[in-house]
Copies of this chain bind each other. A is one copy, B any other.
Amino acid sequence: MENFQITLRELVRCYQAFEQLSNRHIRTMDLTPAQFDIVATLGNTQGMSCRELGEKTLITKGTLTGVLDRLEARDIVRRETINADRRSFRIFLSPTGEDLFNRTFNQHLEYIRPFFSELSAQKLTEITCALTELRHKFQDQTNAI
């Protein structure tokens, strides 16, 4: 097996191991992974358009409408028309949504933290740099067919 395959497989296995424990925790907070992604992305911001939210979460616009509808029905996010462009909305967290963000996001980090506890600061930096470098490759459009 070639080197890049081994790296790729390890990326997938590592992420999926994380995803499994992360999603299990997210479910206990009565959110789906996609919903948590939206709430986490909107947290500590002034809100953003659907287009921007879709770019950050990698959720396509058709799907996004449905996810936002369900969050709006629970008064977690709100849509507000903006004057600058009447095709667009500002999507932002309601007070309930901000509460949820503050509780769940920190709770989620505390849930995750122990898994990192034995890694030194230097090791963390190493891993981070490696991942950043790899991500830049994935996002380099000149590689895309």
A residues near B (Cβ < 8 Å) are 3-8, 10-21, 58, 109, 111-119, 121, 123-128, 130-135, 137-140, 143-145
Tally of this chain's copies:
2
Which residue of B16, B130, B138 contacts A17 across the interface (Cβ within 8 Å)? B138
Q: Are B119 and A134 in contact (CB under 8 A)?
A: yes
Q: How far is the CA of A119 from the CA of B13 in the complex (A)?
A: 20
Interface SS of chain A: helix
| Residues on B with beta carbons closer than 8 Å to the beta carbon of A117 | 143
Q: Are A14 and B131 in contact (CB under 8 A)?
A: yes
Which residue of B12, B21, B124, B145 contacts A4 across the interface (Cβ within 8 Å)? B124
Q: Are B137 and A10 in contact (CB under 8 A)?
A: no
